C-alpha cells in the first residue's frame, strides 16, 4: 500500500502539506518537494519526496512527479504558496481541476486529457520562447561587453599614440630651436659717408682757393 492510501483514512487527524525541504549550502541551496505532516519541522522528516527545485539556474529547474503530486492533491494534501505556484507552472493544479470535473461528470476523461494536452503544448512553446529570449539577451550582453572592451582598448591605444606624437613634435621643436641658436649671426655692413663727407668737401674747397 503506497503512502497515499496509508494516510487517506487519517486526513481528518493529520493535515498533510506539499512543501519544500532545503538541502545543500545556504547560498546555493536546492530544495526537495516533499509530502509531510503539517506539524513536522520545516526541514524535518517527510512522508515522500515527489520532486526537486533548483532556483540557481535561469530559468529555475523544477522536477516533479506530476502523477504522484496529483494523487496527493486529490487526497487532500495542501501545497504551500510556493509549491502551489510550481504545481501550477507544471500544470498539476490544472489537471486536478480537470480531474475533479471528470469525477463530478462535468466532462469526460477524454475531454480532460485533450484540454490538458492543449495547455501543455502551449506551455512548452512558451518555455522554449523564454529560453530563446534569455539566450538572446545573454548573447547581446556578451557582444555589448566585447564591443565596450574593444572601444576601451582602442581609446587607450589612441591616447598612447597621441602622447607619442606630442613627444615627437616636442623633440622636433626643441631640435629646431637648438639649431637656430647655434647658427652664426651675420655682421651689419659698415656705413660709408656720414661725418667724413664734410671733411672731403673742405679739402676740395681749399685746393680751389690755392
Q: Over 50: is that where the pLDDT of 9 sits? A: no
pLDDT bucket at 13, cuts 50 / 70 / 90: very low
User: How much is the CA Rg of the chain, to the nearest whole Å?
Assistant: 48
Over residues 172-184, the mean pLDDT reads 80
Q: Which residues pair with 21 in a beta bridge?
A: 32
What integer pLDDT is reported at residue 112 of this predicted model? 94
Domain 3-77: assigned CATH number: 3.30.1320.10
Q: What is the largest CA-CA distance in the chain?
A: 170
How much is the pLDDT for 158? 93
pLDDT tens column, 63-114: 999 999 999 999 999 999 999 999 998 899 999 999 999 999 999 999 999 9
Q: Which three cell numbers stand for residue 193?
A: 659717408
User: What does pLDDT average to over the chain?
Assistant: 82
Q: What is the pLDDT of residue 202?
A: 56
Is residue 204 over pLDDT 80? no
At 67 the pLDDT is: 93
pLDDT of residue 97: 94
Dig out the grid coordinates for 25 from the structure.
549550502
- Residue ranges covered by each domain of the chain: 3-77
pLDDT at 11: 47
| Cross-strand bridge partners of residue 62 | 53
59 cis-preceded (ω within 30 degrees of 0):
yes
Average pLDDT over residues 135-142: 87
According to DSSP, the residues that pair with 93 across neighbouring strands are none
Task: Say if residues 95 and 127 touch (Cβ distance below 8 Å).
Answer: no
Please, which pLDDT band fits residue 30 given cuts at 50, 70 and 90? very high
Q: How far is CA 35 from CA 42, 67, 72, 129, 204, in A?
A: 11, 14, 8, 32, 144
Cα separation, 6 vs 71, in Å, equals 13
**Contact in structure between 83 and 72 (CB atoms under 8 Å):** no
Amino acid at each position: 500500500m503506497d503512502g497515499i492510501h496509508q494516510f487517506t483514512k487519517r486526513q481528518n487527524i493529520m493535515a498533510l502539506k506539499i512543501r519544500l525541504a532545503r538541502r545543500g549550502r545556504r547560498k546555493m541551496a536546492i530544495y526537495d518537494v516533499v509530502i509531510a505532516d503539517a506539524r513536522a519541522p520545516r526541514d524535518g522528516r517527510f512522508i515522500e519526496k515527489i520532486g526537486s527545485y533548483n532556483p540557481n539556474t535561469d530559468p529555475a529547474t523544477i522536477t516533479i512527479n506530476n502523477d504522484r503530486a496529483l494523487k496527493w492533491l486529490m487526497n487532500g494534501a495542501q501545497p504551500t504558496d510556493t509549491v502551489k505556484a510550481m504545481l501550477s507552472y507544471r500544470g498539476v493544479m490544472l489537471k486536478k481541476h480537470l480531474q475533479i470535473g471528470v469525477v463530478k461528470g462535468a466532462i469526460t476523461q477524454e475531454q480532460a486529457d485533450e484540454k490538458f494536452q492543449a495547455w501543455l503544448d502551449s506551455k512548452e512553446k512558451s518555455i522554449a520562447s523564454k529560453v530563446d529570449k534569455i539566450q538572446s539577451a545573454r548573447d547581446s550582453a556578451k557582444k555589448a561587453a566585447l564591443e565596450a572592451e574593444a572601444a576601451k582598448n582602442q581609446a587607450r591605444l589612441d591616447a598612447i599614440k597621441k602622447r607619442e606624437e606630442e613627444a615627437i613634435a616636442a623633440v622636433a621643436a626643441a631640435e629646431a630651436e637648438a639649431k637656430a641658436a647655434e647658427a652664426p649671426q651675420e655682421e651689419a655692413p659698415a656705413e660709408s659717408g656720414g661725418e667724413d663727407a664734410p671733411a672731403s668737401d673742405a679739402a676740395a674747397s681749399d685746393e680751389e682757393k690755392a
